[in-house]
């Protein structure tokens, strides 16, 4: 039995993504997919996501990030991929980044 390789997705979502329930939307989707990491607002009006898990689940989360909740209007999603560090035990909402 081989273990699936975990990946790390770091994404910045730009557009009308604050004040529309985006962080809770991401937390619900990521948790349902079994991912760990966090989501937070940034002072530049974007939302930042750091998620770890298997690639198919991360790809599904990325598709959700590009869509967003109904009240959001996603203009751009900037994505970086890397190796998972396994430093998180769950997916959470973090406070705004300066």
Handedness of CA 73, 77, 68, 38 (dihedral sign): negative
Q: Is 8 a catalytic residue?
A: no
Integer CA distances (angstroms), 8 to 18, 20, 23, 35, 94, in order: 23, 25, 18, 10, 17
Q: Annotated catalytic residue: which of 41, 55, 66, 70?
A: 41
Q: Annotated catalytic residue: which of 16, 23, 42, 55?
A: 23
Quick one: 61 exposed, middle or buried, by C-beta within 10 A (0-12, 13-18, 19+)? buried
DSSP assignment, residue 72?
-
Q: Is 70 a catalytic residue?
A: no
Active site residues: 23, 41
């Amino acid at each position: 039995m081989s273990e699936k390789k975990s990946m790390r997705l770091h994404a910045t979502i730009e557009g009308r993504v604050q004040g529309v329930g985006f962080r809770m939307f991401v937390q619900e989707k990521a948790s349902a997919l079994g991912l760990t990491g966090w989501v937070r607002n940034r002072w530049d009006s974007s939302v930042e996501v750091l998620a770890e898990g298997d690639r198919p689940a991360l790809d599904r989360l990325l598709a959700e990030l590009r869509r967003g909740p109904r009240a959001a209007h996603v203009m751009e999603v900037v994505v970086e991929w890397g190796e998972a560090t396994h430093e998180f035990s769950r997916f959470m909402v973090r406070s705004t980044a300066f």
